[in-house]
Amino acid sequence: MPMPEWLRIRRGKNAEQRDAALWSKCPKCGEVLYRRDLATNLFVCTKCAHHFRMSAYDRISMLIDGDFTEIGSDVATGDPLGWVDKKTYPVKIAADREKAGINEGVVCGIGAIDGCDVALGVMDFHFRGGTMGTVVGERITMLLEEARKRGIPCVLFTASGGARMEEGMFALMQMAKTTAAVARFMQDGNFFVTVLTDPTTGGVSASFAFESDVIIAEPKAMIGFAGRRVIEQTIRQKLPDQFQTAEFLLEKGHIDMVVERHELKATLTRLLRYAADGKRARA
């Protein structure tokens, strides 16, 4: 995977340290993989095809042709409740910034996928478990508004443990805000694709993730509203392994397709071209 110039600047120190580490262990099959080989293979295990969770910038550089114009990167995290649990919220945020090498749970911007203009948003599970707080909601809303203004499609990659509790009801309200932006965007006949990656649950799953024209999921991604543990506690029995996987949801008719990461860019490109053709016909 070639790394564009801008990517190095955005990824931060820790990411470089991660890259420098020689190997990663596959959480599925236990295989020890050279980090460089893993990156070259789009973070898919070369032995068992397990799809590793990806950082937002790795994902973006895997898809975007050249330049990527970021939107809302300076919208910064606030602390509206003055939250404290074992740590204060600002301390947690600072730690995640350092650790994940990004400044919030989603990276949004404008670019092109194989020549097709697109508004792309990528959530990152490494930052606060991909939870949606006001920054995530705000950036996604800004992205959808910009896409609507330009009349270009929007592709959102989801990865989320749900709403971010440390921001209380401000976080929950992001479901409303992003949905309002999605609705305006789609009413104008624009094309909206979501790609559900592991895991996609709670407030993200129950808002924009399932509001799109085409819902793609990565293989074996865990997708659902309620968390597995909550359900198991409620019903007092263990759930089958298959439950809430992408493949399970495909069979149940919830999602349009399960696409392997190696096929993802080509698939997205075809979808964007279908929509572009429809747009031309309507013009």
Report the amino acid identity of residue 157.
F
Q: Does the protein bind other proteins through residue 184 (CB under 8 A)? A: yes
Contact 47, 24 (CB under 8 A): no
Options 18-26, 45-53, 112-120, 232-240: segment touching other proteins (CB under 8 A): 232-240
Report the residue number, 20 or 187, with the smaller CB distance to other proteins.
187
Q: Which of 43, 122, 191, 264 binds other proteins (CB under 8 A)?
A: 191
Q: Which of 31, 114, 213, 247 binds other proteins (CB under 8 A)?
A: 213
Q: Does the protein bind Zn ion through residue 53 (CB under 5 A)? A: no
Q: Does the protein bind Zn ion through residue 220 (CB under 5 A)? A: no
Whole-number Å distance between alpha carbons of 120 and 68: 9
How many other C-beta atoms can be found within 10 angstroms of the C-beta atom of residue 22? 10
Whole-number Å distance between alpha carbons of 252 and 244: 10
Q: Does the protein bind other proteins through residue 168 (CB under 8 A)? A: yes
Options 16-24, 34-42, 44-52, 162-170: segment touching other proteins (CB under 8 A): 162-170
Options 43-51, 117-125, 220-228, 247-255: segment touching Zn ion (CB under 5 A): 43-51
Contact 33, 26 (CB under 8 A): yes
Whole-number Å distance between alpha carbons of 99 and 161: 18
Report the residue number, 58 or 146, with the smaller CB distance to Zn ion.
58
Q: Which residue has the tokens 């790795």?
A: 58
Q: Does the protein bind Zn ion through residue 50 (CB under 5 A)? A: yes
Q: Which of 86, 236, 238, 241 binds other proteins (CB under 8 A)?
A: 86
Report the residue number, 26 or 275, with the smaller CB distance to other proteins.
275
Q: What is the DSSP string of 94-124?
A: HHHHHHHSSSSSEEEEEEEETTEEEEEEEE-
Helix (H) or strand (E) holding 193: strand 192-201
Site for other proteins in 5-64 (CB under 8 A): 5-6, 9-10
Contact 136, 173 (CB under 8 A): no
Report the residue number, 152 or 215, with the smaller CB distance to other proteins.
215
